[in-house]
Amino acid sequence: MVIGQIATSTDFLVAGGGPGGYVAALRAAQLGRTVTLVDRDGLDGVGGVCLRVGCIPSKGLIEAADLAHRSATDGPAYGLKTKYGGVDMSAFQAWKAELVTGLTDGVRGLLDKAGVRVVEGNLSLSKPDEAVVSTPNGQANFLKFRDLVLATGSRPIELPGFEINGDDILDSTGALNLETLPGAVAIIGGGYIGLEIGIALAKLGSAVTIVEALEGVLPAMDRRIAKPVEKRLGELGVVLHARSKATAFENGELTVETADGAEQIAADKVIVAVGRKPNSDDLGLDLARVSPDNHGLLPVGADRRISNHIAAIGDITSGPALAHKASAEATVAAEALCGRKVAFQPTAIPAVVFSDPEVASAGLTAADANAEGIEVKTTNFPLSASGRARTLNTANGFLQIVSAANGDIVLGVHIVGPHASDLIGEGVLAIEMGATLEDLALSIHPHPTLSEQFLEAAHVGIGQPIHLAVLGKK
């Protein structure tokens, strides 16, 4: 690239190095394109929010917290003389840094082997076929491109009156970088981000309060799914203020407006987790004759293109802001720009919450089906009837299958319980392939495993329950 108005050329350009951007870059390189990837943090940014400050680090914190908590609370049930002696957050941060570095190096290696050039800077369109990359040192470098994938991701939504200061008011990134465990934490937002962080900190010993404006945690999910999680919050000592609004934080006290009036909640740290905002501003999209909607999302076709030579994927497009959705879109976008006839048309995109218990959902709920005029039936298998779950000393959860009333085709799977995140893949496969309840019931599942819940729920659905004392068909 050349500084100033003289532009150099690149064949295939990608903006953003997250799970959408780097996958698009790799797929385009596989298809023979010469690829340049621009990320605001350069090589340090590959992997994106998910790998560096989101999905991966948060799962590390959750795993550490669960290990500590289970050793202390479930240990005695197994005859183990264990107790929780506290956490060295500095040591945890060192382990987390090593984890992230290892995975980031892996992505860098893949890009390097594929011949993808990584450039540091912020990208915006300067012409319909040209982008300007603004570097940290103030340079403006111009790149003419043949094709472009926009995968710029999202950032935390800012809450007026609760500006992130990196001290006592934090976003999710700050919460995952804590060097000491706070005595009391207030979390604004009961969605998956706030819930995961809140439960982990509670297990490590913080006094946690969650403030949610809507009727309960996980407001975007079915209430039947959220209820077991709310029950568990109480058992962990987490205080939930639903239908409430945080209005101010001063001198270590959070003011919360509840149905019963204002309350003062002591907090060493306030974590703001009220959602994420697409990074679709400042991209020069008017030059592509495209405007984001009121939510900052870009209109895309089934092949993820917004014009003949520009595609958009991930958090800046409609649908759930999930890493796996972005990666799936990335392959479609890259192939479409390489001339292949492809479309992003998943029947189900799984959503997972690494709470306690874990929650996973794919496809339609019964309410979704009713709204679409589809007649369905729901079958449930309680976790309490799972032998493997009982060896984990838990019975809090269930697996539900939503199927067509006529034909028993699987339309949705919803799981609450341990390892729901690992189990939902079978549900997605069943939905995508149009499997029936009988297909699941006739598929031999290993015993004793949590995956048997699929088989058991399917048996209930076809009227042949085995491990539930309900009347079945002869």
Judgement on whether residues 186 and 304 belong to the same structural domain of the protein:
no
Adjacent-strand bridge partners of 270: 169, 186
Judgement on whether residues 270 and 282 belong to the same structural domain of the protein:
no
pLDDT tens profile 16-26: 999 999 999 99
Paired tokens of 271: 């974590």
Is pLDDT at 4 greater than 60 in this prediction? no
Judgement on whether residues 57 and 13 belong to the same structural domain of the protein:
yes
Q: Which domain holds residue 99?
A: 8-155+277-337
Is pLDDT at 46 greater than 80 in this prediction? yes
Mean pLDDT, residues 310-314 taken together? 98
Say how far apart CA 381 and CA 363 lie, in whole Å. Answer: 18
Mean pLDDT, residues 450-463 taken together? 97
Judgement on whether residues 24 and 131 belong to the same structural domain of the protein:
yes
Is pLDDT at 473 greater than 60 in this prediction? no
Residue 448's domain is classified under what CATH number?
3.30.390.30
Judgement on whether residues 19 and 72 belong to the same structural domain of the protein:
yes
Judgement on whether residues 125 and 145 belong to the same structural domain of the protein:
yes
pLDDT tens profile 392-449: 999 999 999 999 999 999 999 999 999 999 999 999 999 999 999 999 999 999 999 9
- Phi/psi of residue 158, each to 5°? -90, 140
Confidence of residue 196 (pLDDT cuts 50, 70, 90): very high
130 within domain boundaries: yes
218 within domain boundaries: yes
Confidence of residue 82 (pLDDT cuts 50, 70, 90): confident
Task: Specify the 3-state DSSP secondary structure of 415.
Answer: strand
Active site residue ranges: 447
pLDDT of residue 469: 81
Judgement on whether residues 233 and 121 belong to the same structural domain of the protein:
no
Judgement on whether residues 233 and 188 belong to the same structural domain of the protein:
yes
Judgement on whether residues 239 and 251 belong to the same structural domain of the protein:
yes
| Residue 305: its H or E element | strand 305-307
**pTM of the shown model:** 0.95
164 within domain boundaries: no
Question: Maximum distance among all alpha carbons in the chain?
Answer: 80
Measuring CA to CA, which residue among 458, 427, 421 is closest to residue 442? Answer: 458
Average pLDDT, the chain: 96
Judgement on whether residues 151 and 290 belong to the same structural domain of the protein:
yes
227 within domain boundaries: yes
Paired tokens of 71: 């050793």
1 within domain boundaries: no
pLDDT of residue 471: 56
pLDDT tens profile 96-140: 999 999 999 999 999 999 999 999 999 999 999 999 999 999 999
Number of domains in the chain: 3
